[in-house]
Amino acid sequence: MPRTTCPSPLILILILLLLCLLGLSACRQLPPLRETGIGPPAPRSGAESRLGQLLGPLAAAHPGKTGVLALAGEHEALVARALLAAQAQHTLDLQYYIWRADAAGTLLLQALWQAAERGVHVRLLLDDNNTAGLDTLLAALDAHPQIELRLYNPMLYRQARVLNYLLDFQRSNRRMHNKSMTADGQASIVGGRNIGDEYFGAGEHLAFADLDVLAVGAAVPQITASFERYWHSASAYPASQLLPAAAAQDSQTLPDRFASLHAQARTQAYLAALQATPLLRQLEDGQLPLDWVAATLLQDDPAKTLAAPDALNHETLLLPALLKTLGEPVQGLDLVSPYFVPGQAGTAALTALSRRGIRVRVLTNALAASDVAAVHAGYMKWRQTLLRAGVQLFELKPHAGQAERAARGSGGITGSSSASLHAKTFAVDGRRLFVGSFNFDPRSALLNTELGLVLDSPALAGRLSGFFDQELSRQAYRLRLADDGQTLQWLEQTEQGLIVHDKEPGMGLLQGLGLGLLSLLPIDGLL
């Protein structure tokens, strides 16, 4: 009679762990959503607001138009946000994917805290994916009577966060990638920047090349309405429902935290650089160099976060509206996307444009400049197809723009050691321009929620075209196919002349093997 074989101890342990996970999944669910908070103050006339008095006459002189100012410099992007917080008298509404508790993030939290101390009603909506380790800080903020904090698509497991993805992957994998700030319903900032040192030239190791716009006039009510839509959505949970109540000492230590940051020499050097930003005086004097244009706000429906993949209403998504609003290119398309994963459909669309004689230029990160290597695997397999069709590909070098940032004083506190592209902007025919949070990848199209403005602005679109024409050869590799029609080459323009790289810059043997394997996997939809 054959002997019965018992499962190995390892198999038994794995089965037990699986049963435990299934039990956790069944027992732990998000609590019912409840409305809390004091609610926003009653709407007031713009004439009652300091910002309204500064900006209202400008908007009145351009009915139906939006005044926009590009915020390309790291320092001016932070100064603009700090100024809006400092000038606000009634409301501040902020919506972000990432908010770090580093120098830049703490300086902006202090600006919000000071506004709340003046009686400004502050509402902060944060995606919960990147709040690990911040629960005590966030609870202390939420404890202020004038600050309301909500967490979007919250993580049930606050410590072992990987459990959220193991037990509820479909929901946890959908994130709110929107980025906006509005003060007193008078001025807004939208674009690609999150809140953290690397976005505002305050980091030592990494500086993101990014783009926002400051907007006044007709688009601001649209941005305010979008914020309200997300704030009251089924995915926005009051922090008090999820975080432990703040201890009295936690709230009392926040001003001490701010004071400690200001006591550091590095912070003082950074603040001195911010004070030199011309935008500071321009806003105070009401002399902003605004470009008054037709603007359209595009946004995903927040229902996208909880919808089943086969139940998405594509009529409510940003991508179809973006294609319609930008219009079909006739002359050229300039596309800037740090995470560029065109997939089969995107590749087909871009190659079709190029074969019709339309100039298509794409700027994304080189491997050595990318902060997400897996995304590079989703991009690299489409390069030959795009190049054969005549699409021009550029990859930002990891040290791009360092000399320019140093010259204008917008480098990091001690000088960032590397650069990475983070701007998301597309220009059609040198006239219409998109600025926002949308990447050219499946994640932005189908998983995350996004937000941005389409601007009918030859001035701004022309600046992007000029960047491709005049600056890019020094800051990026240009890709081409070798004579065999298959092998990639990277062209690098240096002071000593042109260098042709036959191997991908910055890629080691093991990394190349790993990325090659990743590129074979059917994971583009997750990138």
Domain of 231: which CATH number?
3.30.870.10
In a domain, 405, yes or no: yes
For residue 478, the model assigns a pLDDT of 98
Torsion angles phi and psi, residue 270, rounded to 5: -65, -45
66, pLDDT greater than 50? yes
Q: Which helix (H) or strand (E) holds 299?
A: strand 291-299
Q: Which of 34-43, 102-111, 356-365, 514-523 has the lowest mean pLDDT?
A: 34-43
Q: What is the pLDDT of residues 467-480, one digit of tens each?
A: 999 889 899 999 99
Is 317 in the same domain as 169?
no
What is the predicted pLDDT for the residue at 332? 97
Q: Work out the pLDDT band at 408, boundaries 50, 70, 90.
A: very low
Specify the number of domains making up the chain.
Answer: 2
424 is catalytic: yes
Range of the domain at 418: 297-526
Q: Is residue 33 one of the residues assigned to a domain?
A: no
Task: For residue 503, indicate whether it is catalytic.
Answer: no
* 521, two tokens: 């996997």
Task: List C-alpha distances in Å: 89 to 46, 50, 53, 369.
Answer: 11, 7, 12, 41
Which element (helix H / strand E) includes 500?
strand 497-501
More confident residue, 203 or 215: 215
Is residue 409 predicted with pLDDT exceeding 70? Answer: no
CB 190 within 8 A of CB 451: yes
**Is residue 44 domain-resident?**
no
Q: What angle do CA 313, 316, 319 make, to 5 degrees?
A: 105
Q: Are residues 200 and 317 in the same domain?
A: no
- Quick one: pLDDT at residue 5? 44
Q: Considering 90, 177, 376, 397, which one is annotated as catalytic?
A: 177
CB atoms within 10 A of CB 332: 17
- For residue 428, the cross-strand partners are 333, 432
pLDDT band, residue 27 (cuts 50/70/90): low
Report angle CA 233, 237, 242 to the nearest 5 degrees.
Answer: 165
Same domain, 270 and 303: no
Q: Please tell me whether residues 277 and 145 are part of one structural domain.
A: yes
**Does residue 19 fall inside a structural domain?**
no
Percent of the chain whose pLDDT exceeds 70 = 88
Integer Cα distance of 264 and 70 in angstroms: 31
- The yes-or-no answer on residue 90 being catalytic is no
310 in the same domain as 261:
no
Residues 358, 260: one domain? no
Query: Residues 311, 335: one domain?
Result: yes
> Are 185 and 305 members of one domain?
no
Mean pLDDT within 185-206: 94
Domain membership of residue 14 (yes or no) is: no
Among 93, 128, 142, 184, the one annotated catalytic: 184
Residue 422 is a catalytic residue:
yes
Residue 39 lies in a domain: no
- Separation in Å, CA 332 to CA 123, 362, 431, 441: 41, 11, 10, 20
Same domain for 421 and 279: no
Give a yes or no: residue 37 inside a domain.
no
pTM of the model: 0.91
The single residue of 197, 422, 441, 524 carrying the catalytic annotation is 422
Domain membership flag for residue 40: no
Same structural domain, 395 and 314? yes
Angle between helices 265-275 and 248-262 (to 10 degrees): 70
pLDDT tens-digit map of 257-293: 999 999 999 999 999 999 999 988 887 777 889 999 9
Residue 429 designated active-site: yes
Is the CA virtual torsion 51, 53, 54, 55 positive or negative? positive
Proportion of the chain above pLDDT 90, given as a percent:
71
pLDDT of 465 above 90: yes
Among 179, 376, 381, 397, the active-site one is 179
What pLDDT sits at residue 47?
55
Cβ burial, residue 166 (10 Å; 0-12/13-18/19+): middle
Same domain? For 132 and 206 the reply is: yes
255 and 395 assigned to the same domain: no
Annotated catalytic residue within 75, 300, 424, 441 = 424
- Backbone phi and psi for residue 408, each to the nearest 5 degrees, phi listed first: -95, 5
Would residue 212 show up in a list of annotated catalytic residues for this protein?
no
Cα 126 to Cα 141: distance, rounded to the nearest angstrom: 13
Q: 102, 197 in Cβ contact below 8 A?
A: yes
Residue 126 has pLDDT above 80, yes or no: yes
